[in-house]
Amino acid sequence: MKPMRYMEIEMKRAVFSDFDGTLSDGYIAMEFLEFLHIKNLYSNNCYHTQMQLIEDFKNNQITYGDWICRWAEVWADGMKDQKADIIEKNAKEFYATFRKNIYKSSFDVMDEFGKKGFHKVIVSVGSYEVIVLAAAELGADYVFATRCEMIDGIYTGRLASDLHLMTGKADCIKRYAIDNDISLENSAAMGDSIHDASMLELVGFPVALNPSEELMSLAKKKGYAIRTYSNILEEIKKM
């Protein structure tokens, strides 16, 4: 019997990018929450809890990580008993006006990654209902975002994802890399907040894009590329 020959698997590359603050201005999930609340499609009690969480974060009473974690939990709770088809319809209506907040350079950056053969993956704690619309327009190949549990088309009030945890983004990337034969060493990641740190640490080409002060400090210590939406394209062209 002849010895078995093993075929070498060609590893692929990917770019994993946050959305809010990284590819767009503002917080899409918070604006969508406001939109739904005005239309009486989001719990009033949970809405006020969300507003208090923002104040607590601004007043340094909770960390950014704590805020994100609680935001996701309260987001799901506030959606309880809503119908999925109605929320989907409203998500499209909302996104039609929000899309102008996406940086023009973000489209160029995603196009450039596509030309270089990278898988383009959006990894956001934002609500899936609207992140998926932005990701589609940006030409992303896959989306990780905060999902709420639904049974028979009705929101249950519980989360169905763990992106809000500090290691949530890293865990998603690891799973995606295994499932798609992605070489993380040859991949890139872009983020603007400390919540993106676990994601940036996994790849060979980490970029702190429009970084917060906390992420800026970490990026300088780690030697990450530091860019803004106005000069990120040149960094990508060098990869």
pLDDT tens track for 192-234: 999 899 999 999 999 999 999 999 999 999 999 999 999 999 8
Q: Which residues pair with 140 in a beta bridge?
A: none
Residue 6 has pLDDT above 70, yes or no: no
Angstrom distance (rounded) from CA 209 to CA 7 = 38
CB 205 within 8 A of CB 188: yes
State the average pLDDT over residues 10-22.
Answer: 93
Q: What is the pTM of this model?
A: 0.90
State the average pLDDT over residues 3-13.
Answer: 56
- Average pLDDT taken over every residue of the chain: 94
Q: Which helix (H) or strand (E) holds 189?
A: strand 188-191
In the chain, what are the domains? Answer: 14-237 (3.40.50.1000)
Angstrom distance (rounded) from CA 19 to CA 203 = 18
Q: Return left, alpha or beta for 229; rule: phi > 0 is left, psi -120 to 50 is alpha, else beta.
A: alpha
Measured CA distances, 124 to 170, 196, 225 (Å): 11, 9, 20
What single DSSP character describes residue 145?
E
For 56-72, the pLDDT digits (tens) are 999 999 998 899 999 99
What single DSSP character describes residue 175?
H
Lowest mean pLDDT among 10-14, 141-145, 157-161, 183-187: 10-14
Residue 1 has pLDDT above 50, yes or no: no
Give Cα 123 to chain centroid, integer Å: 3
> According to the model, what pLDDT value does residue 238 have?
83
Q: Which residues pair with 102 in a beta bridge?
A: 24
Residue 7 has pLDDT above 50, yes or no: no
Instruction: Return the percentage of the chain with pLDDT > 70, whole number.
Output: 96
Residue 26 has pLDDT above 80, yes or no: yes
CB 144 within 8 A of CB 72: no
Angstrom distance (rounded) from CA 42 to CA 90 = 12
For 92-137, the pLDDT digits (tens) are 999 999 999 999 999 999 999 999 999 999 999 999 999 999 999 9
